[in-house]
Amino acid sequence: MVEESRSKKPFSKTFTRNMVLIVIVVSFVPMLLVSGMILHQYSISYNEKLYAYLKEVVYRHAQNIDTFLNERLYNLQFLLDSCKDEVLLDESVLQERLFQLQQKYEGEFEDLGVINENGVQIAYAGRFSLEKAEYADAKWFQEAFEKPYYISDVFLGLRSKPHFIVAVKTFHQGSYYLLRSTINFEIFNSLAENLRIGKTGFAFILNRDGKFQTKPHYDMLPSNKSYMDFIKAGKKEKHGIYIGEIEGSSGFNQAIYLAALLKNEDWILVYQQEKKEAFSDLIRTQIVAAVILLLGALLIVIMNSLLFHKVINHMTIVDREKEMMNRQIIETGKLASVGRLAAGTAHEINNPVAIMVQEAGWVADLLEEEEFQNGKNLEEIQRALKQIGNQGKRCKEITHKLLSFARTSDTPMQDLQINEIIKEVVAISDKASYTGISINTDLDENIPVIYGSQTEIQQVLLNLMNNALYALEKDGGKIDISTRLTDRYVLVIVEDDGPGIPEANLDRIFDPFFTTKPVGEGNGLGLYICYGILQRMGGSINVHSTVDLGTRFEVRFPLQKPAALKPDDRPA
Amino acid sequence: MPESQKSDGKKIKVLLVDDEIHFVEVLFKRLSKRNIDVTKTFSGTEGIQALRQVDFDVAVLDLKMEDMDGLEVLKIFKKMYPMIEVIILTGHESEQTAQEGLQYGAFAYLTKPCDFDQLFDTIIKAASD
CB spacing of B91 vs A348 below 8 angstroms = yes
CB nearest to A358's CB, from B26, B64, B95: B26
User: Choosing among B20, B21, B42, B116, which should be mutated to test the A contact, i.e. which has the most A CBs within 10 A?
Assistant: B116
CB A218 within 8 A of CB A273: no
Residue A384: φ, ψ to 5°: -60, -40
A357 forms beta bridges with: none
- Contact list in A for residue B92 (CB cut-off 8 A) is 347, 350
In a domain, B6, yes or no: no
Residue A283: φ, ψ to 5°: -65, -40
Question: What confidence score (pLDDT) does residue A433 get?
Answer: 57
Question: In A102-246, where do the E strands start and end?
Answer: 109-115, 121-125, 149-151, 164-172, 175-183, 202-206, 235-237, 241-246
Of A300, A244, A238, A314, the closest CA to residue A273 belongs to A244
Does the pLDDT of residue A525 top 90, yes or no? no
User: Choosing among A345, A362, A391, A413, which should be mutated to test the B contact, i.e. which has the most B CBs within 10 A?
Assistant: A362
Question: What confidence score (pLDDT) does residue A570 get?
Answer: 40
Q: What is the pLDDT of residues A350-397, one digit of tens each?
A: 889 999 999 999 999 888 888 888 878 888 999 999 999 999 988 888
CA distance A480 to chain B (A): 36
Considering only residues 320 to 379 of chain A, which have any Cβ-Cβ distance to chain B shorter than 8 Å?
347-351, 353-359, 361-362, 365
Question: What confidence score (pLDDT) does residue A218 get?
Answer: 57
Q: CB B98: neighbour CB atoms within 10 A?
A: 18
CB nearest to A355's CB, from B26, B93, B116: B26
Measured in residues, chain A has a length of 572
Query: What domain count does chain B have?
Result: 1
Question: What confidence score (pLDDT) does residue A341 get?
Answer: 75
Tell whether B114 lies on the interface with A, counting CB pairs under 8 A: yes
Q: What is the CATH number of domain A410-572?
A: 3.30.565.10
Of A542, A536, A533, the closest CA to residue A561 belongs to A536
User: Choosing among A350, A351, A397, which should be mutated to test the B contact, i.e. which has the most B CBs within 10 A?
Assistant: A351
Tell whether B111 lies on the interface with A, counting CB pairs under 8 A: yes
Residue of chain B minimizing CA distance to A393: B113
What is the domain-level CATH number for residue B75? 3.40.50.2300
Residue extent(s) of CATH 3.30.565.10 domains in chain A: 410-572
Rg (CA), chain A: 59
In a domain, B7, yes or no: no
CB nearest to A354's CB, from B29, B94, B113: B113
Of A472, A470, A475, A474, the closest CA to residue A527 belongs to A470
Contacts of the segment B42-46: beta carbons below 8 A, 24+ positions apart? B42/B17, B42/B18, B43/B17, B43/B19, B43/B67, B43/B68, B44/B17, B44/B68, B44/B69, B44/B70, B44/B72, B44/B73, B46/B17
CA distance A475 to chain B (A): 41
In a domain, B3, yes or no: no
Q: State ipTM.
A: 0.87
In a domain, B2, yes or no: no
Q: What is the pLDDT of residues A402-441, one digit of tens each?
A: 776 555 445 567 888 899 888 888 877 765 556 678 888 8
Could you give the CA distance from residue A563 to residue B50 in angstroms, rounded to a whole number?
46
Question: What confidence score (pLDDT) does residue A251 get?
Answer: 61
> What residue spans of A225-279 are helical by DSSP H?
225-233, 275-278
CB spacing of A365 vs B95 below 8 angstroms = no
In a domain, B109, yes or no: yes
CB spacing of A361 vs B112 below 8 angstroms = no
Does the pLDDT of residue B1 top 60, yes or no? no
Please give the average per-residue pLDDT across A145-150, as a whole number: 85
Does the pLDDT of residue A6 top 50, yes or no? no
Tell whether A532 lies on the interface with B, counting CB pairs under 8 A: no
Listed in sequence order, the residues at least 6 apart from B36 whose beta carbon sits closer than 8 Å to its beta carbon are B4, B11, B12, B13, B14, B123
Could you give the CA distance from residue B91 to residue A349 in angstroms, rounded to a whole number?
8
Furthest-apart CA pair in chain B: how many Å?
Answer: 38
Range of the domain at B39: 13-128
Does the pLDDT of residue B57 top 50, yes or no? yes
pLDDT band at A21 (very low <50, low <70, confident <90, very high): confident
CB A275 within 8 A of CB A254: yes
CB spacing of B112 vs A356 below 8 angstroms = no
Q: What is the DSSP string of B72-95?
A: HHHHHHHHH-TT-EEEEEESS--H
Q: What is the pLDDT of residues A512-524, one digit of tens each?
A: 778 888 776 777 7
CB spacing of A353 vs B26 below 8 angstroms = no
Q: What is the pLDDT of residues B75-98, one digit of tens each?
A: 999 999 999 999 999 887 777 788
Residue of chain A minimizing CA distance to B117: A361
Higher pLDDT, A216 or A459: A459
CB spacing of B112 vs A395 below 8 angstroms = no
DSSP state of A263: G
Collapsing DSSP to helix, strand or coil, A294 comes out as helix
Please give the average per-residue pLDDT across A463-472, as a whole number: 86
Share of chain A above pLDDT 70, in %: 84
pLDDT band at B21 (very low <50, low <70, confident <90, very high): very high
- Contact list in A for residue B100 (CB cut-off 8 A) is none
- Contact list in B for residue A355 (CB cut-off 8 A) is 20, 22-23, 26
User: Choosing among B20, B23, B102, B110, which should be mutated to test the A contact, i.e. which has the most A CBs within 10 A?
Assistant: B23
CB spacing of A351 vs B93 below 8 angstroms = no
CB nearest to A358's CB, from B23, B91, B95: B23
CB nearest to A351's CB, from B20, B30, B95: B20
Could you give the CA distance from residue A172 to residue A179 in angstroms, rounded to a whole number?
12
pLDDT band at A4 (very low <50, low <70, confident <90, very high): very low
CB nearest to A353's CB, from B33, B113, B115: B113
In a domain, B70, yes or no: yes
Could you give the CA distance from residue A226 to residue A243 in angstroms, rounded to a whole number?
15
CB nearest to B116's CB, from A347, A361, A408: A361
Size of interface A-B (CB pairs under 8 A): 66
Could you give the CA distance from residue A373 to residue A388 in angstroms, rounded to a whole number?
20
Question: What confidence score (pLDDT) does residue B39 get?
Answer: 95
DSSP state of A201: B
Residue A245: φ, ψ to 5°: -135, 150
A158-167, A216-225, A276-285, A562-571, range with greatest mean pLDDT: A276-285
pLDDT band at A567 (very low <50, low <70, confident <90, very high): very low
Tell whether B105 lies on the interface with A, counting CB pairs under 8 A: no
In a domain, B46, yes or no: yes
User: What are the distances in angstroms from CA B89 to CA A3, A174, B129?
Assistant: 46, 169, 19
Could you give the CA distance from residue A220 to residue A270 in angstroms, rounded to a whole number?
11
Could you give the CA distance from residue A114 to residue A119 in angstroms, rounded to a whole number?
9
Q: What is the pLDDT of residues A35-58, one digit of tens each?
A: 889 989 988 999 899 888 888 888
Tell whether B26 lies on the interface with A, counting CB pairs under 8 A: yes
State which amino acid sits at residue A549.
Answer: L
Q: Which helix (H) or strand (E) holds A264?
A: none
CB spacing of A355 vs B20 below 8 angstroms = yes
Question: What confidence score (pLDDT) does residue A37 get?
Answer: 92
Q: What is the pLDDT of residues A154-197, one digit of tens each?
A: 877 666 777 888 888 888 777 888 888 888 888 888 888 888 88
Listed in sequence order, the residues at least 6 apart from A392 whose beta carbon sits closer than 8 Å to its beta carbon are A353, A354, A356, A357, A360, B113
Could you give the CA distance from residue A430 to residue A441 in angstroms, rounded to a whole number?
12
In a domain, B1, yes or no: no
- Contact list in B for residue A389 (CB cut-off 8 A) is 115
Share of chain A above pLDDT 90, in %: 9
Considering only residues 65 to 84 of chain B, which have any Cβ-Cβ distance to chain A shorter than 8 Å?
none
Residue of chain B minimizing CA distance to A363: B30
Question: What confidence score (pLDDT) does residue A85 get?
Answer: 65
CB spacing of B29 vs A362 below 8 angstroms = yes
Could you give the CA distance from residue A152 to residue A156 in angstroms, rounded to a whole number?
11
